[in-house]
Structure 1
């Protein structure tokens, strides 16, 4: 009889150990998922509040300066939040090619902050051949594309 009690006690302790290990793993996993959802929710909120539009007139010929070899794009903040002016949140593609951050400048026109309604000039060093081209500006997940002719 005593041996049955000892074996039942051993099985009971083993079952408690396994249950504790599983519970600990689940608490850690659920905590990680909750933190990930919080981060993702903040990113989605930033994307919802961000909206930009390229307002350069492609028919004016001002989007490309062949003598200087520069692409000039005016981008208006039409969203609800103030955007970074240091260019960290701005990405640029010309004809589908990523332009490295060192190859373009972002300058706020008429002010120091890129608030709702404010305009920035994105000036990129990029020599283009004659023909049709596209420029895409991506800011915090929002993008706008404009076609122009050189």
Structure 2
């Protein structure tokens, strides 16, 4: 907000702003910050914590490791895939208890409408991931990924490529 430019976070009266202006739609994620846990165990814990579903580590598929924030942090990001169903639900409270988190399930038409909004509160990889899934045929999406200059986050490209490979098996 313009009135807060130049202020330290501690000097901003956060109570006068509704939580909704800071909400985003994003993928389940978390840091790899426990040295005694595998990457799969970290992902399983994040799914439990953030979503309230218990997915077995053997049902979580590692897709790719890539670098994000090039030129800023050079952080590594891992991309996993898992499917959930209601038999895996262990928490009726949406997982997180110490944050403002809500699971979002969308039908294909709802995802299409979400992507068509002018102001979308999501990271580009989620937005364009939904866009490609809803608006491209499988051959069109495969051709998109094979281009030399693709305007998408690496996570989207690797996720799509993995998905295509699974469909061919």
TM-score, normalized by the shorter chain, greater than 0.5: no
Q: Which has the higher contact order (CA 8 A, sep 6+)?
A: 1
Q: Which of the pair is proportionally richer in strand?
A: 1
Computing the radius of gyration over CA atoms, which structure comes out larger, 1 or 2?
Answer: 1
Q: Which of the pair is proportionally richer in helix?
A: 2
Q: Shorter-chain TM-score category? A: under 0.3
